[in-house]
A and B are shown apart, each in its own frame.
Chain A
């Protein structure tokens, strides 16, 4: 098992830059065949967790495949991630990674940038292969008012 923290951090950052470039094949190339992806937010108004996306790998592939058929403003998102904590599970040959996340949206017209969302990634990374592979990503959002929203996983 490779316990080099740097390679784990680089995996997290590479998923961000791949999504920033809308390079979905690169993103999926960093993910396991059993990849699971989820976006949740806790609502203080109703005191419940809300699950806004919950996909396996096949569903993520379909989501990316249908994106061009939908209307959007196409304003690019930029992810700023800082890996806070990497803990290792030697039995499972995995790392559990907590990453602070800020996402900015830049208008195509004029280039003004605003904060789109803040939250954290809770990732499970397999260390059983030559290089780390993302097995599970749980995005916990603090931001709940996302304006007119977005189609692209964050």
Chain B
């Protein structure tokens, strides 16, 4: 039976944990609050150490808190991160997304900085500033940086944040044997800019009921009783993270899949492990390829998706070629699954745009935490509500102060980046 206006917008007769207020996906004020309360406080995955493999390699990152960053490896092999801004007149310090430079030199007035963030040259400094300003006064703003969980570079804009390990907890333990057995290397990096809310695209990694969208996943999993598809189980972890149990993907069922028998060290043949991390990062290890999603919200209805495809640093050119081929079938911009995921979450963004009078969004499937249970999204929004201090099912209702962040112990306030 169709519904009238009142029926359409009334709250579902379900626990408030089982639906979401559509305003959280489109309201500009809520988005600004997310930047302040979440993204400026939480650890974000910014790069992989293989992207800055050598001393003086640098890599830029557009932090979702709104600040542009530059990640740089020093001669001491330590990876540090700085605001990508010249402290003189506020120009971008680095324009290229990556490179190698002994000094970061601002093109505007040639102020120069080393890989530790120290200012090492102010042209005609003494003549202009006399003794009022010197190099030691104008270093770069350094950002908390750690390297870990597969060699990824994590950053946090909050100087008083707890260590990365306190945020991740045990969520990645399930995948650590595969992540740490050998050094990894990024094979692909690509972006996709979508007109949708970042939480909606992150949902495509947090619920698998949407496998009805993917012919590939239906034929290689859902429709094959031997795959173990319906036995995959969600495990929720503190801080909003969740993992999804492995299965045996039946690649042969997809005609033309061309999927190799390459595999991945420590992962069972045709295995598939996935871990979602709050607020918008996913580790997705599927048989022979690791895909990392890290999303950069640009607005309430706009998001820049970063995708990384990784193999092993020890791969021969032939093995690398095969990993790329395995990844291409489903995950390249022409891949079978990625296009479908991005299309559907963009459709949500369009249909639930501000002013479109959307209904409450259901997250209500309960199947004993098995693969079509929507516990992943419920767990995520519970965490979101804690950080935001407002209910995800009624965005006007304040529930408490935003989630207090543990202050790092004094002995951990020093930089904890690891050598490569």
A interface residue numbers (CB < 8 A to B): 39, 41, 43-48, 50-55, 58-59, 61-63, 65-66, 69-73, 144-154
A50–B283 alpha-carbon span in the complex (Å): 20
Task: Give the chain B neighbours of A151 by CB distance below 8 A.
Answer: 334, 336, 339
Q: Which residues of A contact B273 (CB under 8 A)?
A: none
Q: Which residue of A lies closest to B331 (CB)?
A: A52
Give Cα A50 to B344, complex, Å.
25
Q: Return B79 CB to nearest CB of chain A, in Å.
A: 16
Q: Which of A45, A47, A50, A149 has a CB less than 8 Å from the CB of B187?
A: A50
**Count the B residues whose beta carbon is within 8 Å of the partner chain — how many?**
40
Q: Which residue of A lies closest to B340 (CB)?
A: A71
The CA of A123 and the CA of B287, in the complex, are separated in Å by 33
CB–CB A59/B346 < 8 A: no
The 7 closest A-B pairs by CB, nearest first: A62-B256, A148-B342, A52-B332, A149-B339, A149-B333, A146-B333, A45-B97
From 202 to 231 in chain B, residues with beta carbon under 8 angstroms from any chain A beta carbon are 213-216
Given contacts A71-B340, A149-B334, contact A47 B98 (CB under 8 A): yes
Q: Are B98 and A45 in contact (CB under 8 A)?
A: yes
Interface of B (DSSP majority class): mixed
Most chain A Cβ neighbours within 10 Å, of B186, B256, B325, B333: B333
- Is residue B108 within 8 Å, beta carbon to beta carbon, of the partner chain? no
Contact B215–A73 (Cβ < 8 Å): no
- Give complex CA distance A48, B193 in Å: 21
Can you list 27 A-B contacts (CB < 8 A)? A41-B190, A43-B189, A44-B97, A45-B189, A50-B324, A51-B321, A52-B328, A55-B258, A62-B256, A62-B258, A70-B215, A70-B340, A71-B344, A73-B343, A144-B333, A145-B190, A145-B191, A146-B192, A147-B194, A148-B194, A148-B342, A149-B332, A149-B334, A149-B342, A151-B339, A152-B334, A154-B334
Q: How far is the CB of B47 from chain A (nearest CB, A)?
A: 9
Cα A144 to Cα B255 in complex, Å, equals 28
A-side contacts of B98, CB under 8 Å: 44-47
Q: How far is the CA of A59 from the CA of B343 in the complex (A)?
A: 24
Residues of A within 8 Å of B216, CB to CB, are: 70
**Smallest distance from the beta carbon of B202 to chain A beta carbons, Å?**
16
Residues on the B chain within 8 Å of A50, using CB: 187-190, 309, 324
